Each structure stands twice: as C-alpha cells, then as structure tokens.
Structure 1
Amino acid sequence: MAANILVVGSLNMDLLIRVNELPKKGETLLGGPITEIPGGKGANQAVAISKMNTSVGILGSIGKDSYGNALLKSLEDHKVGTRYISRSDNKTGTAIVIVDEKGSNQIVVSPGANLDLTPELVFKNKKAIEEADIVVMQLEIPLETVHFTLELAKKMDKITILNPAPAIKLSEDILKNVDILIPNEHELKLLSNNWIEGAFNDPIKASCEELLEKKVKTIIVTLGEKGCFLMNGMDEQTFPAYKVDAVDTTGAGECFIGGFTSTYLKTMDLHDSIQSAIKASAISVTRSGAQNAMPTQKEVETFLC
C-alpha cells in the first residue's frame, strides 16, 4: 500500500548510557548499563508519524547485520512501510546516546550504512516519492542525497519538510526546495548569517527573515521549554510549550516532526499541526527512550483534556 508520507533518512541503533551528569571536556564518567534502542532521526520520525495513525514509509539503508534486522522489526511492529529500505554491505548506523538524570543528552552518530543512501538509490526508488503526498528529510544522510531528493520531490509537486539536524550550513540550492523548515535554535543559528544577539535585535526573527529571502516557504523554530516560533510570508507567531517533568529528551525533536507532519497531512493547517506537535513532544519527554516514547494520536488528542 502506498504511504501518504515518505521519510527519506537515517536508521540507527542507539546505544544508550545513563549518567548522573553529562561529561565535561576531557572527563571520564562511569555510567549505567548499555541499552540498545532502535533509532535514527529518520526512523524515529517515521514511527512518530505512524503512531499518529498516519500511513508512512521510509526510504533508507541498513546493514546486513543483527542491528539492521532489529531496526526492520521495530519499524514493522510500528506499522511503518519498509519496502524501500535497502541492505548494505556496510554496518548499520549506530549512535552513542548519553542521558543525564535531568533528561538532557549528548549524541554521537556513526552513520555506517546510512552513507549508502545515495542519489542513485533514491532515483532507483523514485516510485516511493511518486506515491507520497509529503516527503520528510533530515541530515544524517549524505547532503548530496538531501539536495537531490528535495529537488526531485518538488519536480513531482510534493510538499517537502526538512529538519536540518545535525546542524550544518545549507546552500540556497537546497533551501529553495524546502516548503517547511523545522530547525531548533542551535540549527537556526548555523543556517543564518543574521544571528546577532543584542538588546535591540531578535536573532530568531532576523534569521527567519533571511531564510525566507532564500525561498524557504515556512519556518518553524523549536525552542524547547519555550515552545516554538512560526514565520512565513503571511504569519508570525510564538506558540508556548506545555510544562512537564522531563525524563529523557531523546527523540523529542523527531516526535515534534511526527506530530506536525501527520496533522498537517490531514488538515493543511499550520496552527493545528504545531499544537499537535507541541503536545506530542511534551508527552514524549516524560518517557524514557525514543520510538517507544512516541505518543499515539489518542494520547495527543486527550493531552491535558
């Protein structure tokens, strides 16, 4: 069955270690036992979308190893379409995730088989894009693949959503093919040349204005406990976050993307979609892990009701 939303992105096995506090530069800490958790920004976003009762598939690359098998099973268990996942001779991507007792984290990713998600592989599987209404991407795969996929999706008149994480500079050739850009504050800072902090300057607004000039249609900046900021040619608004006791922020950004995208597919309303995204991410941080912490559509709809 064709998926209404296609995620083109990464699949990783997260190796989670809990510590009392995050390590400082040059510091060695003793942590708890290692827990293996299916992850990757692409896979997490796909699971978040699926749990919102929305048809979704993922185009990606994994290794022919036990981690790859586990990732496939997790996606299938969460009803994510896996027919466009390729198996590589390279090892499945992995991420070392360190989480402190306040829920804050540090993450280092070894891309592995994710680097085999090339433009050629995307073109070979272009039917996946043809079948979708919305194409979602992140930056844990080769940048040339991101560029190629966004361009191909726009040629097919698809809605494109880009989460520019991990944070890097992006060319105007990439940005002009993005309908909805969803960075966090750190990512926005790297994307912009207009980030100047001062009493008489709003760096978030100035940076968003710059990106709009580079042909991005809509920008939604996630601001953690401060909520998020929306700007496009017609609208400018801040949406407050919900106050919750955070246990683990791993996957919160992907959960926001999932909540937003699934609602946007159904309503095409930015405000409603942002509210769903804020609720979904608020629920997720009260739970441990990433994919298993993603809320269902019913949980989002009944949150604080």
Structure 2
Amino acid sequence: MKIAVVGSYGAGLTMRVPKAPSAGETVSGGLFDSGAGGKGSNQAIGAARLGAEVSLLTAVGDDEFGRSARELWQREGVSADHVVTAQAPTMVGFILVEPSGENRIAIAPGALDELDAAAVDAFRAEIASADVLVVSMEIPEEAVVAALRAGRETGTRTLLNPAPARPLPDACWPLIDVLTPNQTEAPVLLGLGDRHGLGDEELAEALRARTGGVVVITRGGAGALVAQDSGTSTVPPHPAPAVVDTTGAGDSFTAAFAVALAEGRPVDQAAEFAAVAGSHTVSIPGVVPALPTRAQLNALIGNAS
C-alpha cells in the first residue's frame, strides 16, 4: 500500500509548564524539549511506522532544522525526494503543555509559505501511484487545492485533514473523498461561529452534503463520529492508560486511518483502528516518539488487526 502526503514540517519547541501563563505573566518551572513536528511530517512518519510506503511533499529551509528533518525521514523510511528546500527558514512551532496534557501552539510558517502549485505538480506522479492522498492545512491554500485536484484527476482517494481549520474555497469541496475534522474544526469549515447550536451529527451531515464523501469528526476522549452514504455511526473511544500529551493525537489518528483505508478496510473499521492509534499517542509525551508501530497497535487491540 502506498500513501502520498502533502503537508507541513516544522521544528516543535515544547515547554511543559505548571500552568499556561496569562497575558503579561511569567511562569517558571517549565521543562523544555525540542523535536520534529508539522502535521504532514507527523502523518507521513505515522503511516510509515504502520507499514505503508510513504512519499512526502513539504518545504524546509536550508538550515539545521531542515537538515535534521531529512535525516529523520531517512531513518523512518519516508521518501523525501520531492521536499522543497526554500529560501525562508524551516517552520517553527512553540508548544506549551499543561499538566492536564492540553496544549497551546503558536507557529511561524517560514519555508511552508513557499510550497506552491508548481511543487505539487512535480509531485503528481507520487500522488497518482498512491492508494490514498493525505493533505493537511498548515500549508498555503494554493498547495492544498492543487494537491486535492491532482488526487481527483489521477483517481487517487483524497483525505483532507482540515487542520488548522479555515473556511474552504468552493473549488475544494468536490475534490474531497474523506474529511477528518475535530469538533472545533468542523464548524469553522462551514463558516459557523461558536454559537452555531449544531450537534456533531448535524455538522457531519452538513459537511458531507458539501463533499458528497465520507466525514469523520474526531471527538477526543469521546471517540469519533462517521457519516457516509449508509448513514451515521459512532466509533467508541479506546481508553488511554493516561492522558500525558495530546499534541500528536490527531496526526496519529489521520495516519492510521489512511493506512487502514489503503488496506481496503471499511470506513468504520478504519476509524476504530485509528482511534486505537490516537489513544496510544496521548499516553506518551512528545509527538514522533508517541506515533505507534504496527506491533504496538496489535498489542493494544489483541492482534485483531
């Protein structure tokens, strides 16, 4: 099975703090760590660890962060032949993690702003040969639309993980086969405010009406909601032994979901498999260290996969 990923890479600079500082407040006692991040890279590594052949399109700077990224992808077995070396520095994300495991993230996109339709066009053969194309939205809208259009034109199943969420251009909607927002992202995609008053099922159906495909709303510790032609169903959560760090959970879910779809699993079963991956990830600090291998997931689900 082969997966093509179009998305971001960034260095994650993480500080675990006793509490998140208020405006103007300085909080001491933090623990600092740095590591690889970016939704596209995380998803590519997550899929590779689960046994997929993965090609990644992103952009990095000609700097130490960019060189470290290429070394990481080589170690993890992710093909980075088409990754762009940009003029700007590699993306950096600053992450504050509270004792509860909740996180706050600020991002300087840098090199990612240079990822354009021409870069996607050079990646077109990889998209065409993939079973599933995974696209996330820490990259310019031009690249998002170009990637989804390339997937549609080459007959590859398209999966959009709409994070960070923003209203989608009308041209995007018919290009999406599978959409995987969380509960916060779903109303943003529809252009709704905080007081929209819609439940998850109504949001999922509204999104599905626009794409005509599958919508999976992830709900953290409450599992997921799946809307497809056959109706709407719920995916129960897989209990995590402890919630330590939620930072990479969505990327882990997306990677596992894409792998399961590429293997030909039905959508409901793919979402259940992905929920186990997300549960594993929140129980381990950091992002890349928390992305599970196939053996780790098999152990969690009793080799049922």
**TM-score with structure 1 length normalisation?**
0.94
Tell me whether 1:302 sits opposite 2:299 in the alignment. Answer: yes
SS at match of 1:172: coil
- Quick one: distance in 2 between partners of 1:283 and 1:48? 12
Residue matched to 1:214: 210
1:304 Cα deviation from its structure 2 partner: 4.8
State the distance in 2 between where 1:41 and 1:251 align: 8
User: Which of residues 266, 278, 281 is equivalent to 1:281?
Assistant: 278
CA distance, structure 1, for counterparts of residue 24 and residue 219 of structure 2:
29
Q: Give the deviation of 1:197 after TM superposition.
A: 6.4
After TM superposition, give the deviation of residue 50 of structure 1 in Å.
Answer: 0.6
Aligned residue number for residue 199 of structure 2: 203
Which residue number in structure 2 is paired with residue 266 of structure 1?
263
Kept in 2, the 8 Å contact 1:17–1:31? The answer is no
- Pairing of 1:34-183 with structure 2 (within 5 A): 34-183=32-181
Residues 102 and 246, structure 2, Cα contact 8 Å, conserved in 1: yes
Instruction: Indicate if the aligned counterparts of 1:231 and 1:237 stay in contact, CA closer than 8 A.
Output: yes
> Once the 2 structures are TM-superposed, how far is the Cα of residue 24 of structure 1 from its aligned partner?
3.1
1:249 positional shift = 0.8
**C-alpha distance in 2 between matches for 1:266 and 1:98:** 36
Q: Which runs of 5+ in 2 are unaligned?
A: none
Runs of 4+ in 1 over 4 A off after TM superposition: 193-198
Scaled by the length of structure 2, what TM-score is found?
A: 0.94
CA distance in 1, matches of 2:212, 2:223: 21
After superposition, the CA RMSD in angstroms is 1.7
Name the count of aligned residue pairs: 301
Q: 3-state SS of the aligned residue for 1:302?
A: helix
- The CA distance in 2 between the partners of 1:304 and 1:82, in whole Å, is 31
CA distance, structure 1, for counterparts of residue 186 and residue 300 of structure 2: 29
- Separation in 1, partners of 2:207, 2:81: 35
> Is the contact made by 2:82 and 2:122 (CA closer than 8 Å) also made in structure 1?
no
> Which amino acid is the alignment partner of residue 253 of structure 1?
G
Unaligned 5+ runs, structure 1 = none
Range that drifts further, 26-35 or 177-186? 26-35
Deviations 1:191-229 (A, max 9, x none): 12577869xx75222222222221340100000001000
The answer to whether the 8 A contact 2:135-2:144 is kept is yes
Percent identity between matched residues is 28
Code of the residue aligned with 1:162 in structure 2: it is L
Deviation at 1:127, TM superposition (A): 1.8
**Residue 286 of structure 2: SS of its match in structure 1?**
coil
- The alpha carbon displacement at 1:133 in A equals 1.9
Q: Give the C-alpha shift of residue 35 in structure 1.
A: 1.6
Of 16, 19, 26 in structure 2, the residue corresponding to residue 18 of structure 1 is 16
